[in-house]
Amino acid sequence: MSQEQKLSYYINKAKSLDITKYEKKIRIALLGSFTLNGIEETLRVKCSEIQIGCNSYVAGYNQYHQEVLNKESNLYRFSSDIVFLVLDARSILGKLFHLPYSVSESDRRQFVKDKVSDISNLIRFFTSYSTAKLVLTNLAVPTYSPYGICETKVSYGLQEMVNDYNQQILESIKNTESIYLYNFDSFVTRIGEKNVFDFKQFFLGDIQISFDCIPYLVSDFVGYVKAVLGLSKKCIVLDLDNTLWGGIVGEDGFEGIKLGSDPVGKAFVEFQKILLALHKRGIILAINSKNNFDDAIHVIRKHSDMILKEEHFACMKINWNDKTQNMKEIANELNIGLDSMVFFDDDPVNREYIRTSFPQILTVEIPKDVSQYAPLLMSLNDFDTLKITKEDLGRGNMYLQEKQRKDLQQQATNLDDFLEQLEIKLKIKKANDFTIPRISQLTLKTNQFNLTTKRYQDEDIKKFLDGGHWVGCAQVEDKFGDSGITGVFIVKKNTTEWFIDTFLLSCRIMGRGIEDGILAQILKKAKESGVKTVVGEFIPTKKNTPSENFLSDYGFKKIGQYWIFDTSNPIKIPKYLDCSVEE
């Protein structure tokens, strides 16, 4: 856990923030059952530190019921992207917080049930009036009990009550996509109840999160901001010597490096295990190391304590080339932006070099003490996304397939020959409960092949469907495997003309004519429906140049700021694509 600044630093900084200068913006409302001063200021400053302009609204002290239940309240008028509802055990439990045993066990159970249904009702009300993400905190389980060591002998005692409340709240919101539970109880466990709850501050101003702890809490909150804005990192680029193992393999040799048995070696193993777990949830791993390839690959392939194997790395740059050059090549080969990369290197000089060359890469400040590598990695919330999809879980495997495709490409005599041999199947699917999370995710994170870069949450997608528009996605398979849903389009339908609101393709499958195949299906459908004109748009960003010429190359004609296709023109479909459309 990195050291945070004092609260006064944030409070003062917040006064002079100019949020108009940031391209990315977020609107956040804070509601709570106790004093939230300080949290709001810290949130705005922490957002500005990562180039996000944050507008905020803080509801009046303990006004959350009124604000949520009144459709005309300032909360709804503010139209937030995220609402944090921060509750505490004292106010939820009321009298029972101090005197839990003044009522019978069955009354305690009923009490918790009622509170859960009260909060669930609030949430239901909220979701029917707002499309904002709601982040609700659970309750910190009190460590004190009047029953002392006998607390655990009581049936449905104080601690069990709070645990049960937390469990029931968790169950009640688990399946609501726009609601997240922030585990405040585990925050308190991590920081310590003695540190979080300062009795003096509590008596002075109903301050229930001490000043020193507020910045830590807000750092966790910023994780939601990054996820909502789609700023999550996709790839970790790693050095080798003294980063994945102790020592320098070129000097210390295969036997001499520290990995596994001794305390230092155990720290590297732990670090690798955390990396492997991130890989399994969809984070890409890559290597950027100055080393003799043969020495390093020998360790990766043969060392018995090496947790990460060759198959876990989507790209390996082990050479004596310039590290920034390697970095660019990794980004190119993996088809991801530099700003979705995180860089780990023990050498401060390398870090500084990468940081100054590519400020958009998150270069992590590594502590000198190797025992702190794993906890540092665990503390990063830069990989947080609003959901984890099937595609995320299979990503590691997909990069392996990608390597096989590259091998095939090298053997093939020309590009058409290669594409033919891939036996690509393109399936156009409709948006439904199964595909909407992935569709939203792709709109949030696709930057390069994206004509309009419009970001949509699940609720926005549903609105398109309710409006009778066509939201579709493309699943791509070839002989090496299933790439999953990797393309998305949204077509706004009018009787005479269709408008392509969104058209994007995951960078992983660019360059295989998939985009032509998808567009052709849209145009064919338009023609069948008697629609003569399909209108497209290209909104340039810093990153979407790969899709700049797509519409004109396909045969759209520019009129004003739009691109027009007359459906009486021939509709081209790459002959090697096997296309199907779900009806």
Partner 1 sequence: MTKLFEIISRVLNAPITQINDESGPETMDGWDSFNLYVLLDEIETTYNVKFNLDETLEIKNVGDFKKILQKYGVVDF
Look at residues 272, 486, 286, 512 and name the one whose alpha carbon lies nearest to residue 392: 486
The CA-atom distances, in angstroms, between 473 and each of 230, 427, 445, 491 are 19, 8, 15, 11
Residue 213 beta carbon to partner 1: minimum distance, rounded to whole angstroms: 11
SS3 160: helix
Residue 10 beta carbon to partner 1: minimum distance, rounded to whole angstroms: 10
SS3 470: strand
Q: Out of 4, 7, 382, 445, which residue is the one contacting partner 1 (CB under 8 A)? A: 7
Q: Which is nearer to partner 1, 12 or 110 (CB)?
A: 12
Q: Which is nearer to partner 1, 203 or 414 (CB)?
A: 203
Q: Out of 60, 94, 192, 205, which residue is the one contacting partner 1 (CB under 8 A)? A: 205
Angle between helices 348-357 and 323-334 (to 10 degrees): 60
- Applying CB under 8 A, the span of 9-17, 85-93, 137-145, 504-512 interacting with partner 1 comes to 9-17
Contacts of 116 (CB under 8 A, 6+ apart): 165, 168, 169, 172
Q: Out of 3, 15, 174, 302, which residue is the one contacting partner 1 (CB under 8 A)? A: 15
- Applying CB under 8 A, the span of 32-40, 116-124, 126-134, 575-583 interacting with partner 1 comes to 32-40
Q: Which is nearer to partner 1, 159 or 210 (CB)?
A: 210
Contacts of 95 (CB under 8 A, 6+ apart): 102
Q: Which is nearer to partner 1, 212 or 497 (CB)?
A: 212
Q: Which is nearer to partner 1, 150 or 204 (CB)?
A: 204
Assess 66 for contact with partner 1 (CB under 8 A): no
Residue 317 beta carbon to partner 1: minimum distance, rounded to whole angstroms: 46
Residue 7 beta carbon to partner 1: minimum distance, rounded to whole angstroms: 6
- How many binding residues for partner 1 (CB under 8 A)? 18
Q: What are phi and psi of 123, to 5 degrees?
A: -65, -45
Assess 194 for contact with partner 1 (CB under 8 A): no
- 227-243 exposure pattern, b = at least 16 Cβ within 10 A, e = fewer: bbbbbbbbbbbbbbbbb
The amino acid present at 510, given as its one-letter code, is M
- Four-residue CA torsion sign, 399, 400, 406, 409: negative
Q: Which is nearer to partner 1, 32 or 337 (CB)?
A: 32
Contacts of 36 (CB under 8 A, 6+ apart): 30, 58, 86
Compute the distance between CA of residue 569 and CA of residue 549 in angstroms, rounded to an integer: 19
Q: Out of 200, 302, 368, 575, which residue is the one contacting partner 1 (CB under 8 A)? A: 200
Compute the distance between CA of residue 373 and CA of residue 393 in angstroms, rounded to an integer: 24
Q: Which is nearer to partner 1, 15 or 153 (CB)?
A: 15
Q: Out of 32, 38, 337, 536, which residue is the one contacting partner 1 (CB under 8 A)? A: 38
Binding footprint of partner 1 on the chain (CB under 8 A): 6-8, 11-12, 15, 35, 37-38, 200-201, 203-205, 207, 210-212
